Structure formats: structure tokens, C-alpha cells
Amino acid sequence: MEHEEKEILIRLLREAEDNSREIARVLHVVRKIERELRPQPLPSSTVFKEITMNPTIGGNTQVFTGTFVPAGSVPPSDAVYAVTSNDPAITPTVDATGLIVTGVLPVGWVESTSVPLAYTRTASSAANPTWTLSDIITPSAPPVGFPTSTTFIQTS
């Protein structure tokens, strides 16, 4: 093989190597775009946890942070959130993400001994009318005397 032919082969191999690198870069970008375009699952529920850990006593503010279920799910971009309380003395709020619920307990407020305080956070979408969420947050334990479980024994 002549020197000139070797030079041509080396040049062609370097070009092929450069082309391979460019193809790898393009494929990386294509995969990234494909991941962004892939539809995300819609949340089917939300799990809320109290982040302030303040007791359910008048004068306190309780803040709950939610996580959509399943993990990685994304609500519709036009999702609308609302939150209500089962106690008319408390007007909770929910942030624009639907994931932070705040309940301000008025000074002097006392929780009912028969019905524990509960917040209901709802979500809906005009673009996806079949998608809705309704999650209940109960910041305290059931009142004393309410059953918390049932134990069965065989009687016959």
C-alpha cells in the first residue's frame, strides 16, 4: 500500500470517527426531546404530610405538603385547586401547585370532640374533564372514644 493510500485511509477513519461523535450527540438530543414529549401520567391521588407539626390547637397554623401519586405524575397545566374545611370557623388555603395546604386555627378555637377537623383538597381540569382529585387531610387523631381498629375472634 502506497503512502498516499494510507493517508487517504487515515483521513477517512478520522472523518468516520468525527461523524460517529456527531451522531451520538444528535441521538442524545433526540432522546431528550422524546422524554420531554412523552405524556406524563396524571396523578390519581395526593399524599399530604404535615410539615409544621403544630398541634390542632387554636392559635396554631398547620401547613401540609403533598406529593402526587403515582410518583412522577404531572397534573394538567390548567389544574384548578380548592380546599375546604369541615369546620366553618376555619378557612384553609391551597397554593397554585395544589401541594401546599395551610390551615390557620383561630385563637381560642377548640376542636370538636365528636368530629375531628378535616380539610378536603380538590383538583379539576377543564382540558381534562375526567381528571379530578379529592383528598382528605385529617390533622389530628380521632377523638377519644372513636374506634381506631377492630379485632375479630372466632366464636363458633
Helix (H) or strand (E) holding 81: strand 80-85
Check which CATH number belongs to the domain holding 111 and give it: 2.60.40
Look at 32-41, 58-67, 97-106, 112-121 and tell me which has the smallest mean pLDDT. Answer: 32-41
- pLDDT band with cut points at 50, 70 and 90 for residue 9: confident
Q: Report residue 121's pLDDT band, with 50, 70 and 90 as the boundaries.
A: very high
CA 134 – CA 43 distance, rounded (Å): 11
**Cis geometry, peptide bond prior to residue 70 (ω within 30 degrees of 0):** yes
Residue 112 domain boundaries? 45-137
Burial (CB count <10 Å: 0-12, 13-18, 19+), residue 114:
exposed
Shared domain check, 64 and 27:
no
Report the SS3 class of residue 110.
Answer: coil
Domain count, the chain: 2
Q: Cα dist. 120→5, 12, 156 in Å?
A: 78, 68, 43
Residue bearing cell 375479630: 152
Residues 68 and 34 in one domain: no
C-alpha cell at 114: 365528636
pLDDT band for 4, please (50, 70, 90 cuts): confident
What whole-number distance in Å separates Cα of residue 141 and Cα of residue 117? Answer: 9
How far does Cα 136 stand from its chain's mean position? 15
Q: Which amino acid is at 34?
A: E
Q: Which helix or strand (DSSP H or E) is residue 30 part of?
A: helix 3-37
Whether residue 56 is found in the same domain as residue 18:
no
Residue 145 lies inside a defined structural domain of this protein: no
Using CB atoms within 10 Å of the CB of residue 44, give its burial: 0 to 12 exposed, 13 to 18 middle, 19+ buried. exposed
* pTM (global) more than 0.95: no
In a domain, 59, yes or no: yes
User: Does residue 152 sit within a domain?
Assistant: no
Categorize the per-residue pLDDT at 76 as very low, low, confident or very high, splitting at 50, 70 and 90: very high
